[in-house]
Structure 1
């Protein structure tokens, strides 16, 4: 069953995109999973990290980016084609040519990252999305564009990872609308965690109003520096801050993942698509950081996230089993 996870933080520079791209690579290359990345961030960093500038420009020129999807709804056009827009075999770790992909049997299971790219034109369309309802004669909600036109593709994947913009506007809400869970990557300092209560409040509000089942899967510590007293104090404070944010909504406090992604040059350089890499180890670094090789943090993170997903599935099954049947009248 497909798992859809959004990555969100209102603060830039917290390695949100780097974390999403690394997880996509890890699940696909190391775990042999089918992964689709939706880049909803107008900065297009995930797009450039996964396909480079040349392929991105070609997709943008052809109108096959998620920005065009929203522009179509605003302008009443039909340029974007979801199936055509998916770029198969993204990531510079992909070793299967596009021609060979076309010849592989449809049912063959092999690890692969696919991408629905973003565009800087999303900056312009964000302020016009309130017009979608009237333009479509209220047949399409500004928050349900991705659900209507893109979500039907999800069933072909094990995971869908959504890189949300650093705001709580309509584009972000489109990502949350189709997500099972969301993750909050953050540096453990006051500035990076300041917007967490806003995220929690907004998601809780939308969840109730729209009948969504989305939940926070956890908080991922990024750019971690074990010798930083500021980060140590932030880590000590974070559990209580999370409890304060989630408790008013009757939701359990999400875990702070044990895997802390360190501040390393290798992780920073891993999102440079044009950088030639031999394999996963080469891309994410072999130098020791925090007692282990840098590349091992990706598999550790993926394993922990998959464990959390399994736990959530088990909890949902138990809750369903314990729910008394509705008496027939």
Structure 2
């Protein structure tokens, strides 16, 4: 059965897209069939996978009902639904659509009629608007990357509140799969303090894996590669493989 995971934090710069692409790549290394969906109007995931933000067919057109989800098979074996800069307009364009929170769920269901995937990872926009609601309504689990800095964790309460509302009104199957601490440097006292606070506050919802601060993770998207294509022996690759091992255990 396909497991659908939304990767979300409404604060930017916490490693959301980095987590989506490299967790997907790690799951693929584990022989899983993985689909990535770029739901962010900045299209960072699309570019990180080596595609143009001006693809002819994107998730934007699919959300507007113009065609099914466009599945682009990448050279590395992953499949991607690309985004574009126009996607940001979907928030206002779809606001009066009946069942607007369910559009993505319906598109995914139709895609799964023709293609089989073990995991679908959705890279959400850094907001809690309509596009994010679509992702949460379609998902089984939520993975929340949190930078090991005090300001980055302040919005956690708002995310958990939104998840509770979505679970109650739209998607009773939604659960927080886990919180992953990113950009962690154990030499910094603040990083360690924040990490401890997050672990104490959310207990079993925090993944044991910590994504260490690693320059290769920042360099790989420039080349249009995931971390395993760019440098499979670096700390970033090791950390995301460890995270994938934990994600595989989600029931």
Q: Distance in 1 between matches of 2:205 and 2:90?
A: 35
Deviation for aligned residue 1:181:
0.5
Contact 1:52 1:273 in 2 (8 A): no
Contact 1:40 1:66 in 2 (8 A): yes
The equivalent of 1:32 in structure 2 is 31
Q: Distance in 1 between matches of 2:142 and 2:224?
A: 29
Q: Distance in 1 between matches of 2:43 and 2:177?
A: 24
How does the TM-score come out when normalised to structure 1?
0.71
The equivalent of 2:5 in structure 1 is 5
Q: Distance in 2 between matches of 1:297 and 1:240?
A: 22
Deviation for aligned residue 1:143:
0.2
Q: Paired residue for 1:126, among 91, 101, 106?
A: 91
Consecutive unaligned residues in structure 1, runs of 5 or more: 95-111, 134-140, 243-252, 288-292, 314-329
Matches within 5 A, 1:55-134: 56-57=53-54, 59=55, 62=56, 64-70=57-63, 72-73=64-65, 78=66, 80-82=67-69, 85-89=70-74, 94=76, 112-133=77-98
How does the TM-score come out when normalised to structure 2?
0.92
Q: Secondary structure at the match of 1:10?
A: coil
Deviation for aligned residue 1:51:
3.1
Contact 1:220 1:260 in 2 (8 A): yes
Choose between structure 1 and 2: higher strand proportion: 2
Write out the 4+ residue segments of structure 1 that deviate beyond 2 Å after TM superposition. 149-152, 239-242, 272-275, 284-287
The CA RMSD measured in Å over matched residues stands at 2.0
Q: Distance in 1 between matches of 2:204 and 2:12?
A: 22
Q: Deviations over 1:268-303 (max 9, x none)?
A: 11222446x9x93x513535xxxxx44322211111
Is 1:269–2:219 an aligned residue pair? yes
Contact 1:65 1:117 in 2 (8 A): yes
Contact 1:219 1:254 in 2 (8 A): no
Q: Paired residue for 1:202, among 162, 184, 193?
A: 162
Deviation for aligned residue 1:237:
1.3
Q: Secondary structure at the match of 2:184?
A: coil
How many residues of Structure 1 are paired with residues of Structure 2 in the alignment?
249
Is 1:149–2:107 an aligned residue pair? yes
The equivalent of 1:296 in structure 2 is 238
Q: Deviations over 1:148-168 (max 9, x none)?
A: 223322361010000011111
Q: Distance in 2 between matches of 1:127 and 1:240?
A: 39
Structure of larger gyration radius: 1
